[in-house]
Each structure stands twice: as C-alpha cells, then as structure tokens.
C-alpha cells in the first residue's frame, strides 16, 4: 500500500499505457494466432509495473516504450512517458523520445508543436537555455501552444537577466489576456532603471521608473527608485514627496526609505519638521522601529531632557529593544549616573541583539536577509521581501 501511495503520480502518468494495452488486447481478442503476442504484451506490461513499484524507473520505462510503437494513436502516451523521464531526472531519454516524435514526417502540426514545446522544456531543465529558446521560438511561429512557450521564454529571460526581452514577452502575454503580469513588468522596468542608474544615466533611469508605474501604479520599488534619483539630483522636496507616497501606499516599506527620508530633510534643514513627521508615522504603526531614530533627532533638535520625556512615554506603551538601548545611552550621558559592570553587560547584549535581527524577510518562503532583494534568492518570487517590523519583546 505504501509503495502505491509513493508512486501514484507515476501510475497516473502511465494510465495511457494501460489504456493502450487494453485497446490492443481488445483488437486482438478475436485473433487466435495473436494469442502469444497478447500474452507477451500482458507480461511486459506487468513486468514494467513491477519495476516501477520497486523503484527501478530506469528498467520500467524502456519496457513501457517497447509496448507502444510510435503511431498517430500513441503520441500522447509517448509524451506522457517522456514527461516521466524528465521528472525522474533522466533528461537524455526524454530528449530522445521527443526528438523521435519530431522526426516523424506524418506528425500533425499541433502534435509537432507540442513535441517541440516539451523538447524545449527538456533543454530548459538541463540548463541549455539557447537551445530551449530556439525551440520555444519555433513553437510560437507554429501558431500552437504560444502562451505556454512564451511563459517558458519568460523564465529563461529572467534567469539570464535579459530584461528588455522579458518585457517584450510579458507584454505579448498581457495581450493574450494574462493581465496579472503587470506587477512583474514593473519589476523588469525597475531592473532596467537600476542598470541605467549604475551607468550614471539618471534621466533614463527615471524614465524606466515611470514606465514601471504606468504598468503598475503602486509599484513600491519604482517609487523608491524615484526617491533615490531625486536625492542624487538634489531635488530633496521631490524625494520627500515620494517618501510620503510610499508611506501612504505600503507602510511596511517605510524602514527601507528611512535613510533617504532623513537625508532629504536634513539637506533642507528641516529637522524639526522631520521629528513631527516621524512621530506621525509612528502613530500609524508603532512596530516600525522608529523610536531610536526619533530619540536621536530629538536630542539634536531639543536636547536630552526632551528625548527622555519622549522615551519614557513611548517605552511605557511599546516595549522596544532599540528604544531601550537609546534610553540606556541617554542615562550613561548623565553626570550623576554611574554604570555598573552588570548594566554595561546588558547594554552590550542589547547591541548584539539589535545587530542580529534580520532586516528583511520573504513573505512566501521565509527567506531572511540583511539587504532588500526585490527577487527572492530562495523562491524567486518578485516583490515579496519586506522589511521586518515589530519588536522582539512584544512577539515573545
């Protein structure tokens, strides 16, 4: 019973073989001179099934292939068997089956396109992207299975970081009705924007960010690019305007733009306005870990006493490691305060805890990182990594 549960996907894919076996046996039922052939067919089938259940796929699949000679009525069976080869990692045999199918001059246009598509998938699984791309292009030209072929080409272009080609393919898929790709196209445009920015071409970087927003108006990454570009051109008012747009669109990303926010306000000489703005953001979300930043700004603008007053009020409502660390630093600055060795050790522990906290996490797979990746290195999803918010005390 356990073997059957383990290998049920293989059994499901081999149903066409079982069906074909029954069909052949039925056709030959009234031909007495073919009884030996039918018995041989039956024996081969169950021998192959035994190999499969015994975890001997290498022996099982050739047996099944011998049972079904290629003709117009067994093409689907061969495609199913080749799929089993590919899923079991036997790519050479999968390629061989698909190449044999394509070589048949009598193959219909639809089946030829399907075989080309599956052969492309074999090469894609083998990491032979150039061959796979050529086959997917042939499928698109054939007029059959175009959407599937474009989906696989989109995978290739993402892995090869050919963002302009990825944009073209994604746009074609949108024209076919896949409107869910708009956020993905926005990410591709952002990749192009980053490339322009790294070359010092700020104007083109800005243009690509606008293209991203035209396809997906709430693309946080494109907004962050606009903040960066504006700051690099010393357009600090524009940067702050976009900072507030990010805050209103998706507050989870505010920690990712905090440094740009601080820099822009500071360059404009508006630290008092900055303190008020950050306090406003903190009232919206107390788990954004802004307490220490606000304390440092209050010290700079209003002095230690005002910072103490702010911290005492905030820590009583929201326990926070960063806030507690800031509070102890303020205490240590006082002339009347004498720090014992125990308090010193506690401060060091708090500092280590702050440094060890992961800054970003993927919402899909849980991958954590100290940097913001727009495509998750673990699950390859786009736009799912966000800054980690919340304080460790409250969660524990």
Residues 137 and 180 both lie in one domain = no
pTM, two decimal places = 0.75
Residues 180 and 229 both lie in one domain = yes
Determine, yes or no, domain membership for 281.
Answer: no
Residues 46 and 112 both lie in one domain = yes
Beta strands at 368-369 and 385-387: parallel, antiparallel or unpaired:
unpaired
Determine, yes or no, domain membership for 277.
Answer: no
Taking only the tens place, the pLDDT of each residue in 352-377 is 655 555 588 999 999 988 889 999 99
End residue of a domain, out of 148, 175, 202:
175
Residues 13 and 122 both lie in one domain = yes
Determine, yes or no, domain membership for 333.
Answer: yes
Determine, yes or no, domain membership for 276.
Answer: no
Determine, yes or no, domain membership for 49.
Answer: yes
DSSP string across 42-107: HHHHHHHHHHHHTT-HHHHHHHHHHHS--STTTHHHHHHHHHHHHHTT-HHHHHHHHHHHHT-TT-
Residues 119 and 180 both lie in one domain = no
- Cβ-based neighbour number of residue 174 at 10 Å: 16
φ, ψ for residue 385, nearest 5 deg = -85, 130
Determine, yes or no, domain membership for 298.
Answer: yes
Q: Which domain holds residue 45?
A: 2-175
End residue of a domain, out of 269, 303, 320:
269
For the chain, how many structural domains are there in total? 4
Taking only the tens place, the pLDDT of each residue in 39-67 is 444 566 566 666 656 666 666 666 655 55
Determine, yes or no, domain membership for 280.
Answer: no
Residues 180 and 103 both lie in one domain = no
What's the residue count for the chain? 396
Residues 111 and 258 both lie in one domain = no
End-to-end CA distance of the chain: 44
End residue of a domain, out of 236, 269, 302:
269
How far is residue 385's CA from residue 382's CA, in Å, rounded to a whole number? 8
Residues 299 and 150 both lie in one domain = no
Residues 352 and 362 both lie in one domain = no
Residues 126 and 144 both lie in one domain = yes
The CATH code of the domain that includes 260 is 1.25.40.10
Residue 235: which of 217, 243, 189 has the closest Cα? 243
Taking only the tens place, the pLDDT of each residue in 322-341 is 777 677 777 667 655 556 65
Residues 215 and 347 both lie in one domain = no
Determine, yes or no, domain membership for 327.
Answer: yes
- Three-class DSSP category at 320: coil
Query: Looking at beta carbons, which pairs linking 39-44 to residues 24 or more positions away fall under 8 Å?
Result: 41/67
Taking only the tens place, the pLDDT of each residue in 3-29 is 444 444 545 455 455 544 444 444 444
Residues 77 and 58 both lie in one domain = yes
Residue 264: which of 240, 280, 243, 246 has the closest Cα? 240
Do 104 and 73 meet the contact criterion of CB atoms below 8 Å apart? no
pLDDT tens track of the chain, all 396 residues? 444 444 445 454 554 555 444 444 444 444 444 444 444 445 665 666 666 566 666 666 666 555 555 555 677 877 888 888 898 888 998 998 899 889 888 888 999 999 999 999 999 999 999 999 999 999 999 999 999 999 999 999 999 999 999 999 999 999 988 889 999 999 999 999 999 999 999 999 999 999 999 999 999 999 999 999 999 999 999 999 999 999 999 999 999 999 999 999 999 999 999 999 999 999 998 788 888 899 889 999 999 888 888 888 877 777 676 777 677 777 667 655 556 655 666 666 666 655 555 588 999 999 988 889 999 999 999 999 998 876 444 333
């Amino acid at each position: 019973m356990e073997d059957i549960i383990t290998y049920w996907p293989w059994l499901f894919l081999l149903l066409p073989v079982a069906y074909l076996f029954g069909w052949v046996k039925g056709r030959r039922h009234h031909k007495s001179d073919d009884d030996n052939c039918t018995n041989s067919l039956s024996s081969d089938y169950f021998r192959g099934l035994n190999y499969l259940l015994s975890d001997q796929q290498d022996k099982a699949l050739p047996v099944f292939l011998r049972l079904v000679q290629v003709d117009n009525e067994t093409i689907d069976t061969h495609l199913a068997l080749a799929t089993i080869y590919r899923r079991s990692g036997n790519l050479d045999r999968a390629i061989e089956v698909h190449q044999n199918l394509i070589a048949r001059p009598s193959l219909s246009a639809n089946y030829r396109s399907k075989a080309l598509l599956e052969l492309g998938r074999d090469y894609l699984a083998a990491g032979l992207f150039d061959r796979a791309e050529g086959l997917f292009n042939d499928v698109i030209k054939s007029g059959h299975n175009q959407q599937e072929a474009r989906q696989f080409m989109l995978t290739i272009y993402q892995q090869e970081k050919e963002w302009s080609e990825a944009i073209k393919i994604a746009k074609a898929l949108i024209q076919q009705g896949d409107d869910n790709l708009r956020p993905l196209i926005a990410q591709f445009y952002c990749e192009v924007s980053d490339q322009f920015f790294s070359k010092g071409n700020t104007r083109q970087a800005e243009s690509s960010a606008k293209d991203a927003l035209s396809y997906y108006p709430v693309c946080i990454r494109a907004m962050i690019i606009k903040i960066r570009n504006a700051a690099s051109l010393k357009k600090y008012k524009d940067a702050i305007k976009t900072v507030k747009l990010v805050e209103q669109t998706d507050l989870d990303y505010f920690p990712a733009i905090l440094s740009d926010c601080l820099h822009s306000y500071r360059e404009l000489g508006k630290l008092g306005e900055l303190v008020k703005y950050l306090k406003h953001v903190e009232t919206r979300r107390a788990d954004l870990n802004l307490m220490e930043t606000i304390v440092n700004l209050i010290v700079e603008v209003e002095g230690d006493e005002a910072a103490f007053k702010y911290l005492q009020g905030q820590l009583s409502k929201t326990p926070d490691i960063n806030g507690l660390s800031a509070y102890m630093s303020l205490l240590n600055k006082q002339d009347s305060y004498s720090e014992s060795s125990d308090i010193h050790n506690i401060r060091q522990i708090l500092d280590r805890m702050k440094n060890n906290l992961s800054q970003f996490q993927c919402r899909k797979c849980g991958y954590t990182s100290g940097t913001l990746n727009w495509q998750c290195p673990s699950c390859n999803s786009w736009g799912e990594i966000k800054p980690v918010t919340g304080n460790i005390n409250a969660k524990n």
